Structure 1
Amino acid sequence: MLKRIFDFLLSLFLLLIFSPLFVLVALAIMLTDGLPLFFIQKRAGKNGTFFRMYKFRTMSVRKEAADGSFDAGDVSRVTTIGRLLRKSKLDELPQLFNVLKGEMSFIGPRPEVEKWVQTYPERWSVVLSVKPGITDNASLEFRNEEEILMAAEDKEGTYRNEILPRKLDLYEDYVRNNSFFGDLLIIVRTFWAVLFK
């Protein structure tokens, strides 16, 4: 209950504070690449319930992507403004609406598309016992995930056999050991990584 109250109040506060930034990013996307402004994709939430996760659109439109298609390491469709948004992590800002709605938390395992949940279903059943989040220790460790996958010869195999198992290790550790103060520490580390790395 404490975490939900914290999530609700902080997401509401940040949506108000960042509303001018939302407008600027939306205008930048519209002027450089047109509509839609948002990328909305089905992701696995708590207890395996799927929800629509929001991001600012950083890639050219492809209809299948909204239904859960995910091509590991594919940056061929990333737009010019999209590269800037990804680098700064500003593309993640609309997930504040997911937090406000109660579908996500600020801190928790990153929500995954159905394809990769089905790859390790037993491990995901543990991970999805908690609400997914905007950031966590796996997000910090794999901040350069896109570069790793771009350099890999077998991008999908690298994600499935190397990156995702390590992420699941960190997700499971979070499920076992999460605490409110631990969440605060991850928030501080995330802001530090975004601002200074």
Structure 2
Amino acid sequence: MKLRKWDNLPEFMKCDEVRVYYDILAKRRMALSLKRIFDVILASVMIVILAIPMMIIAFMIKSDSSGPVFYCQERVTAYGKKFKIHKFRTMVKHADKIGAAVTVEDDVRITKIGSKLRHFRLDEIPQLIDVLTGNMSFVGTRPEVAKYVERYKPEYNATLLMPAGITSEASIRYKDEDKMLRAAGDVDQVYVEYVLPAKMKWNLNSIKKFSFHRDIWTMIRTFIAVLAK
């Protein structure tokens, strides 16, 4: 990816809190370029390899419940750009209209096949498309819905200096986030006031320590974490 010049950033990102992280990434432009090249090559290869498994999953989803195969929801990525994230549908049709934007463990909206796909994160395979288009990367802050981004503290906007990711250090450490939110009375409130700030500490720390090799290690650890489940 190419880091924009400071003057070309959206106005809401031009603050001292974001500048600290911008200066760090500005010194690592080569690593950012390698990151993008790696994303394109690996995503292309994986789409070819997983083409048949994806068709099988699509058939299982259609056989399990009515509705589309894919679930596309508006999320926010680098520089505040909104895009439609691609996932295999794991919930009933129009689930986003009958519940919170985040999902809790044993959510009644989750389908039988959806539960298995979410357990092994297979629902995220279609995000390879988002990686190819540049809206996402293999490693980066998970893309949030706009209503959560609008409530970001100034420092949190630093995570928008890079594309959203399929996985991250925060994703690994909060892989059981749905269980944490299960007992919450107001899921959205608990997420914004407690879970999001905790995850952002890891996301911001990852920017400070960003390197291409660190991204690779994060991907390996994610794979191990999924297998451990």
For residue 64 of structure 1, report the CA deviation from its aligned partner: 5.4
Given the two structures, how large is their TM-score scaled by the length of structure 1? 0.93
For residue 120 of structure 1, report the CA deviation from its aligned partner: 1.5
2:36 aligns with 4
2:72 aligns with 40
SS in 2 for 1:178: coil
1:194 aligns with 226
Counterparts of 1:27-176 in structure 2, within 5 Å, are: 27-62=59-94, 70-73=101-104, 75-176=107-208
User: Matched residues in 1 for 2:95 and 2:220: separation?
Assistant: 36
Does 92-101 or 157-166 show the bigger shift?
157-166
* Larger gyration radius, structure 1 or structure 2: 2
User: Matched residues in 2 for 1:63 and 1:165: separation?
Assistant: 26
- After superposition, give the CA deviation of every residue in 1:4-35 in whole Å (9 maximum; x if it has no partner): 11000000111111111101110000111133
For residue 61 of structure 1, report the CA deviation from its aligned partner: 1.4
1:180 is aligned, of 192, 205, 212, to 212
Q: Confirm or deny: 8 A CA contact 1:72 1:159 kept in the other structure.
A: no
User: Matched residues in 2 for 1:148 and 1:63: separation?
Assistant: 20
The runs of 5 or more residues in structure 2 that have no matched partner are 1-32
User: Matched residues in 2 for 1:17 and 1:82: separation?
Assistant: 22
The runs of 5 or more residues in structure 1 that have no matched partner are none
User: Matched residues in 2 for 1:125 and 1:153: separation?
Assistant: 28
User: Matched residues in 2 for 1:17 and 1:120: separation?
Assistant: 38
- After superposition, give the CA deviation of every residue in 1:84-127 in whole Å (9 maximum; x if it has no partner): 11111000000000001111000000010011111114133211
- The higher relative CO (CA closer than 8 Å, separation ≥ 6) is in 2
Identity of aligned residues (%): 37
For residue 162 of structure 1, report the CA deviation from its aligned partner: 1.2
Aligned residue identity for 1:105: S
Coordinate RMSD, CA, aligned: 1.6
User: Matched residues in 1 for 2:145 and 2:156: separation?
Assistant: 11
User: Matched residues in 1 for 2:51 and 2:66: separation?
Assistant: 20
- After superposition, give the CA deviation of every residue in 1:51-93 in whole Å (9 maximum; x if it has no partner): 110000011111755xxx7145382211111111111100000
The total of aligned residue pairs comes to: 194
Task: Tell me if 1:17 matches 2:49.
Answer: yes
Given the two structures, how large is their TM-score scaled by the length of structure 2? 0.80
SS in 2 for 1:128: helix
